[in-house]
Structure 1
Amino acid sequence: MVRTKEYRMKSESIKKFLYILPFMCLLAIFAYYPLYGWVYAFFDYTPPTPLSQSTFVGFKWFRSLVENQVKIDQLLQVIKNTFGMSGLGLLFSWLPMIFAIFLNEIKALRFRKFVQTVTTLPNFISWVLVYSLAFSMLSSEGIINGLLNQLGFTDSPILFLQDSEHVWITMWGWSIWKTLGWSAILYIAAIMSIDESLYEAARVDGATRMQVIWHVILPSLMSTYFVLLMLQIASFLNNGLEQYFVFQNAFNKENIQVLDLYVYNLAMGGGSYSVSVAISMLKSLVSVVLLFSVNGLSKMIRGESVV
């Protein structure tokens, strides 16, 4: 009987492992196998020369990042951009949670589903299409400039897409528009899992809707919020590439270049493949350090680890 039970447990474990095996293979192929490319940071590599025929230079490209004043200035500006845009994301990281609460407060079910669908759909639109929308609306000959001109507010078109001073805010705005509904889904699921007895107790005590939100819903969402916040801090340097790549131009390039875009421009635009890999390596290592630091902070404050 005991052996039969052990056999069933082992077979169940094997079956569950086989379920996740394809996803582990995909993770190994697309997440870990590309790490082999880090070897290019230690060679004087210029395509199409094979790596086997390239000169091994050790940490030359890492040293060049701090020995060349031009590269130091560029990196400082890129880091400033990265910190600025990631900082805005952290500063307003509570928006999806508040949006989910207000969605939950909409009592008309059809209208709630309509709002949730409309705000979630942009997440599935590529950044190329988002830029096409922005161009048709905000270019010098776009809808907004045409409307302002017809109403007599402007004599010459406003160059919205070429604006460099406010590019951090505009990039954050487009990112929020695209991801707000999708990011709220986790909080909506957390709201659905709140014990109904807490609502009933609040109603018995005569709590208003705002008091229910403040004393029941918000405390129940805090654990989800802090986990997502810590994961966001851990990926502080990972802004992504697509959004900034499609919105960059000669006028805003200095203030829109985040680390991911800078690495891409170095490799594809400047041909500095080895330097770009070196910077990418350092970024990944810092991200790992941030992840474990946040994990330790979570253990210390909440008693639970993130990873």
Structure 2
Amino acid sequence: LQTNVGQRKMRHSGAFLPIQISSTVKLGNVVVMILLVVSSFIHQVDSQTHHIPLRRPICNSVLHDIPAAILEGAGGYRMGSGLCEVTLSTPDRAKWMLKIDTAVILDCDVIVHVYDTYLSPADGKAVLTLGCASPDPGVIYVNSSTLTVRLKHNNSTEYRFTIIATARKVSSKPDVACTGFKCESGICVAKTLICDAIDNCFDYSDELSNGTAHCEAGYWPFQGENWGVLASVLGAAVVLGVTAACCRHIRSKSRSTVDDLYELNEGPYVRKYAYRYAIIRPPKKPNQTNVVLGRDGHMHYNATTV
């Protein structure tokens, strides 16, 4: 067995540190990949009703592929400018429908306009106007995939309102079946909107436990096809646990190897030409007593190990 003298200190201080670092890096890469996969699945689960507060930093933004939204406005926040505008677009060219859920506007300088375009021009006609004395318009069906909500608040604190907007799937062929969830009113909405404690059908059929939604008591975020997503998340957690256990086993085995080499480095060596040669000794045998004749003519008894 031949090793360089300079390697003794290196091995004694942790020559297998690169192996441990490599195992840690591999574990980190596996964790990152699993988290990316899980986050992509969670993004699919998180396609339910979006809560959109009409204040900074949401103001003056455009949000795409929104299946449903709760647009909330309330005074008491630092709003910045006197206007807040948010534009929403539906997935798969669905059309919007909306209704006012709650509205308490005590300041008549506060007014909400909803347009069916990306922009809200001064001379444009709003599909919904909400102010301090506005009546309840009921359900409004918008023949557009784009919705712009414009809040003029002037930093007032005396208002609070909630508008629910849902994307409904419209087919040019009446005989085409609904691929999502069909409300009792006949409206077709995304299946991920059922049982989320929000009346997206505007007739509560997507929240009933005794209807076609089959909602359980209380809120359960994994409905219908989302059971597969839940199984994927749990499977990823199991894979992560097995990977961590394997890495711990590898690190433990590496430590055992380092200990064995350390004991070998501490053994007897013969040094020659800057190299060390390990001396392999045979196993010890029982002591024997030899009788030898010394130079002085007397008998001597020596205990030797063969």
The interval holding the TM-score normalised by the smaller chain is: under 0.3
Which of 1 and 2 has greater Rg? 2
Greater share of helix residues, 1 or 2?
A: 1
Query: TM-score scaled by structure 2?
Result: 0.20
